Structure 1
Amino acid sequence: MSRPVVVIVGAGPGVSGSVARKFADEGYDVALMGQDQGVLDDLAADVEGRGAACGHTVVDVTDEPAARAAVRRFGEHAGRIDVLHFNPSAFREKDPLQLSVDELLEDVRLGVGALLTVVQAARPFMSAGGRVSVTGSMAADEPWEGAASLGVQKAGVRNLVHSLDKTLSPDGIRAVSVTVRGALAKDGAFTPDGVAEALWAAVATDEGDWRSEVPYAG
């Protein structure tokens, strides 16, 4: 039997990198979608050093045809997608009086809309027991007005996860948003590795205890 496969959308050196390493350590092969080839190369080497196979591709996930094609290639190559992890969001330092409608929609297209794209592309390769996970944020409930679009993205993506979970659950596939209730830091409770552990715990939750939102307070 082939190893389980996690596809990480928005792969980079922070939380998503920690997620990649955590899943590799748990016996998963890893597929990475990101925007920086050098970052992906370094992360892939780290993952492969842990004994996992790792494919990676540079893609703009707001380019719907390109993002769908990338997910489909990973699914066809592995024959399965067991976990789809979604990490992207846009940080634009503008308050509501500075932020234009076009800028808001551009950010929502990345932080919310791209989740639809990748889930729809991954669904044919997912079966009962499959999971969709999203890096959430307390900005959904306590937005900083200085980056107004981020709170809208995080509230929107959490809402979408609830809908995805209800839609996918009859087929045994579940979705979860892990709401990080603190600021990421190199030390302390909110390190990327700590958040990755929380995401792993959420994905590994038994069906009977499943919740589509899990808070992580460190």
Structure 2
Amino acid sequence: MTTPVLLVIGAGPGVSGSLARLYAEEGYDVGLVGVDTEVLAELTAQLGESGVRVEAATVDITDTEAARNAIGLLASAFGRIDVLHFNPSAFREKDPLELSVAELLEDVALGVGGLLTAVQAARPFMPEGARVTATGSMAADKPWNRAASLGVQKAGLRNLVRSLDTTLEPHGIRATTVTVRGALSAEGPFSPDRVAEALRAAARQDVASWEVEVAYDG
């Protein structure tokens, strides 16, 4: 199987959907993993108009066993994963005095732990030259105290991506995160389409000057 494949974790109508459309327009087959069956069905139909193969799995990435099985089945169906993109995060409006330890760990399990699950499940199907990308945020450096867990997630995500890149590099696979330094909006430089373009560009960096964190300032 030689057709390249994009696997999107946390697929939805925003940045991840825009990224899936970008790759589909280039002829990539697309695997979608998300929690909303209706959203996945709509995105599958849209991508199918490009004439590519699209497969979707409805699963909670924090359900480790179910997620690993679902990703394994998708990867087996395609035969390969060339780009794995990780998008999920949890927004919980609680400051550090309101946020419980259980809530913090629940959010980190989604926004950081989910990447671990996804890469471990997909790794056997990732050939040399494959890439892992993740949607980062300025919250990693400048967290809003009213959403304290989000900053922890994005800082942890960036840290984990660094470890993944170091681990995967000897196998010819690289990982990077794009730190979006602005608020997402329907239009303009921080629209989903523009951020998706930045993510695709990050995946295609020259390995000689590879950056594990790419800042996107719009």
Fold equivalence (TM over 0.5): yes
Task: Output one character per residue of 1:160-218: Cα deviation in whole Å (capped at 9) or x when no partner.
Answer: 00010000000000000000000000111100000000000011112112111100001
Distance 1:210 1:18 in 2: 24
Corresponding residue of 2:27: 27
Secondary structure of the corresponding residue to residue 143 of structure 1:
coil
Secondary structure of the corresponding residue to residue 214 of structure 2:
strand
Runs of 4+ in structure 1 deviating by more than 3 angstroms, as ranges, are none
Once the 2 structures are TM-superposed, how far is the Cα of residue 151 of structure 1 from its aligned partner?
A: 0.2
Task: Output one character per residue of 1:115-170: Cα deviation in whole Å (capped at 9) or x when no partner.
Answer: 11110011100111000000000000010001000000000000000010000000
Q: Does 1:176 align with 2:176?
A: yes
Task: Output one character per residue of 1:14-34: Cα deviation in whole Å (capped at 9) or x when no partner.
Answer: 111001101101221000001
Task: Output one character per residue of 1:56-97: Cα deviation in whole Å (capped at 9) or x when no partner.
Answer: 011000000011011101111111111110000000000000
Corresponding residue of 1:68: 68
Secondary structure of the corresponding residue to residue 195 of structure 2:
helix
User: Structure 1 counterpart of 2:191, which letter?
Assistant: T
Corresponding residue of 2:132: 132
Corresponding residue of 1:155: 155
Unaligned runs of 5+ in 2: none
Identity over the aligned pairs, expressed in percent? 64
Secondary structure of the corresponding residue to residue 182 of structure 1:
coil
Which stretch of structure 1 is more off in the superposition, 74-83 or 166-175? 74-83
Once the 2 structures are TM-superposed, how far is the Cα of residue 2 of structure 1 from its aligned partner?
A: 2.6
Structure 2 matches for 1:33-182, cutoff 5 A? Answer: 33-182=33-182
Q: Does 1:14 align with 2:8?
A: no
Distance 2:81 2:49 in 1: 21
Give TM-score scaled by structure 1 length: 0.98
Distance 2:206 2:48 in 1: 28
Corresponding residue of 2:202: 202
Distance 2:66 2:47 in 1: 24
Distance 1:142 1:26 in 2: 35
